[in-house]
Structure 1
Amino acid sequence: MSIVAAALSRDTPARTLPAGKPLPSRTRRVRVEKEHTPLALMAAIPEGYRPPEHVMEWVRAAREWLSSLDLRADARRNRLRVIEYLAQRHQPRTRTILTTWAWIQDALGVARCTAARLLHELREAGLLTTVATGRSAARTPKATGRTRNEAPVYALMLACDPQPATSATDPQEDATELVEGVDINETPDPVGGLRSTTHARARELSPERSRYAADSLKWQHASRAAFATLAAQRPRDQWSRHATMPLTRLWSRRERKQALWELALHVQWFSVAMRGASTAAVAAAIRPFMLAGWNVGDVLHALEWSSDGQKDELGDLFCLRMDTYMRKRLASWMREGQPVASFSQRQEHEHTQRRARAQAEAERREEYLATATAAPSWFQKWRANRSAGNAVTR
Structure 2
Amino acid sequence: MAIYTKEEAKQILDKALSFSKADTCEINLNASNSGNIRYARNTVSTAGYQSNQTLVVQSSFGNKVGVATIDEFDAASLEKVVRRSEELARLSPENPEFMPPLGQQEYLETKTFHQSTANVSPEYRAEVAAASIEPARAKDVTAAGFLNDSAGMSAMINSAGLFAYNQSTNVDFTVTMRTNDGTGSGWVTRDFNNVDRFDAAEASQIAIDKALMSREAKAIEPGKYTVILEPAASIGLLGNMFGAFNARTADEGRSFMSKEGGGTKLGEKIVDERVNLYSDPMNPLVPTSPWAGDGQAYKRMNWLENGVVKNLAYSRYWAKEKGVDPVPFPSNGIMEGGDASLEDMIKDTKRGVLVTRLWYIRSVDPQTLLYTGLTRDGTFFIENGKIKHPIKNFRFNESPIIMLNNLETLGQQVRINGNLIPYMKVRDFTFTSLSDAV
Give the TM-score of the pair, scaled to structure 2: 0.19
Greater fraction helix: 1
More strand by share: 2
Larger Rg belongs to:
1
Q: TM-score, normalised by structure 1?
A: 0.21
Task: Give the number of the structure with larger relative contact order, counting CA–CA contacts within 8 Å between residues 6 or more apart.
Answer: 2
